[in-house]
A and B are shown apart, each in its own frame.
Chain A
Amino acid sequence: MTRTYLQIAAIGTMVTALAAGLLVPADAVQGDVGRLMYVHVPGAWLAYLSFLVTLTASVAFLFTRKLRWDRIAVSSAEIGVYFTGLTIALGMIWAKPIWGVWWTWDARLILTAVMFFVYLGYLALRKTMTDPIVRAKRSAVFGILAAVQIPIVHFSVEWWRSLHQPATIIRPDASPQIDPPLFAALMMGVAAFTVAYVALMAVRIELARVDEAIDAAHNSNAVVAGDAVGRPNLKVEIHD
């Protein structure tokens, strides 16, 4: 029931944020193309949030050895990878009319792509292991190591001379550089994406739990639904 409420909330906030993004005045310089920022920036925020949650859950797993932290880590990393991909794709669509190219060798762009591949590596690493404890321990170590990328990506626009614009909201001088109506639309986008993240996490964590239960059932040779199709040769002992 909670998941349903979360999904309704996510759809509601998404629709509101979309309306806000379309109704605010166009950017004075970029025109309507600038509206892509109401999706691009929240996507980037969500990628950071997801990977920070993966880091926290990885540390928590190594301290507590409780598998629920591993489920949170993988769920968040998976969502983070999708949203990093979305951020890169939207950035490229925006860059073509504004910069004249789909891609340029800019520190922020390169490092975001690198972060995408680091977490793809995290997901690939998990695919090679079936034992949940072994998988959780090894992934937790890599999950911590991978998080080094997050501050480097964020502050790359400050540390290197960059074509990508500097941070608009989380700035070293703590003064957002954006007009109030545009700022409000951007914040609504961020809120909508955050609610969507929570809704997606709830579903994905449940999926991870079910996956583990199925694996455990397979390993213990117990019968689960679908075995008639998936494991037709399984010999089943029936006890009265």
Chain B
Amino acid sequence: MTSIPRQAIEILRRDLRRELRTGEVLWVTIPFGAIALLLIPLAVGTDIPLLRSLGPGIYWVVVLLFGVLVAMRRSGADNQAQRDFLALSGLDPAARFVGQATANALLLLGFELVLGVVSIALYDSSLTGWPWLLLILPIAAAGLALLGTLAAHIVESLGGATALVPLLVAPLSVPLLLGATQSMEALRLGRSILGWLLVMLIVMLTLAIAGILTARPLQEAQ
């Protein structure tokens, strides 16, 4: 029996290896998000000053809505037999949650970075206060990953999970969306963003605690 952090690292490595082999995020989710960034101006208008002001908001909405697909990706690859095997091997459910959420957070961070470059190229967005992005992007990625992983665990092996996860995640991701967009707006106006960072951190910690504490009851409900 290995320690919980060691188990979580093994799950993280497994999920990242799986992504390396399948390229689901790289070849499906990222292009899908990039297409959304490309299509939205066709609907709202291709006026450059308008897009420059809407760009950060559009970017975060696309990240939050399409980022859910990153957390759902694992649901398609996992099967009940594999989950039963892991449980019988003595894998702690909390370690499984932490490992999967961390893998999802890393993949989401990559997703955010690539879409960020696309967004800057398409919308000519301002990069005022860009060093703060080194904090905003990982916190938003971690928050969304925790939320998506928790929702994916709740609906695991259920019929209709593909439609349910976005329905459960999208409304609950509102504090993250507000935190991220308002931080960008505050940076643009030269104001402090610490309050919004704190909101995102609180959401992230709450989700982490909820995910760890409920991992066992959710595993028992398989």
* Measured CA separation A124–B160 after assembly (Å): 10
Which residues from B are CB-within-8-Å of A234? none
Q: Name the residue of chain A whose CB is nearest to the CB of B214.
A: A141
Which residues from A are CB-within-8-Å of B172? 118, 145-146, 148-149
User: Does the CB pair A142–B154 fall under 8 Å?
Assistant: yes
| B141-183 interface (Cβ within 8 A of A) | 150-151, 154-155, 158-161, 164, 167-168, 170-172, 174-175
Q: Name the residue of chain B whose CB is nearest to the CB of A145.
A: B210
User: Does the CB pair B220–A125 fall under 8 Å?
Assistant: no
| Interface residue tally for chain B (C-beta within 8 Å) | 26
* Measured CA separation A124–B206 after assembly (Å): 24
Which residues from B are CB-within-8-Å of A114? 171, 174
Which residues from A are CB-within-8-Å of B158? 128-129
* Measured CA separation A129–B206 after assembly (Å): 26
Q: Judge whether B221 is part of the interface by a CB distance below 8 angstroms.
A: yes
Q: Judge whether B217 is part of the interface by a CB distance below 8 angstroms.
A: yes
Bitwise, A127-166 to B at CB < 8 A (1) or not (0) is 0110001100110111011101100100000000000000
Which residues from B are CB-within-8-Å of A118? 168, 171-172
Q: Judge whether B120 is part of the interface by a CB distance below 8 angstroms.
A: no
User: Does the CB pair B164–A121 fall under 8 Å?
Assistant: yes
B167 interface neighbour in A115, A121, A134, A141, Cβ under 8 Å: A121
* Measured CA separation A124–B218 after assembly (Å): 18
User: Does the CB pair A148–B206 fall under 8 Å?
Assistant: yes
Interface of A, helix, strand, loop or mixed by DSSP:
helix
| Interface residue tally for chain A (C-beta within 8 Å) | 26
* Measured CA separation A111–B177 after assembly (Å): 12
Which residues from A are CB-within-8-Å of B207? 145
Instruction: Given A62-B217, A128-B159, check contact A138 B174 (CB 8 Å).
Output: no
Bitwise, A68-99 to B at CB < 8 A (1) or not (0) is 00000000000000000000000000000000
User: Does the CB pair B174–A111 fall under 8 Å?
Assistant: yes
Q: List 26 A-B contacts (CB under 8 A).
A: A62-B214, A114-B174, A115-B171, A117-B171, A118-B168, A118-B171, A121-B167, A124-B164, A125-B168, A128-B155, A128-B159, A137-B218, A138-B154, A138-B155, A138-B221, A140-B217, A141-B214, A141-B217, A142-B168, A145-B150, A145-B172, A145-B207, A148-B172, A148-B203, A149-B172, A152-B175
Known: A128-B164, A149-B171. 16 other contacts (CB 8 A): A62-B214, A118-B168, A120-B167, A121-B168, A125-B168, A129-B158, A134-B221, A134-B222, A138-B221, A141-B150, A141-B154, A141-B210, A142-B151, A145-B150, A148-B203, A148-B206
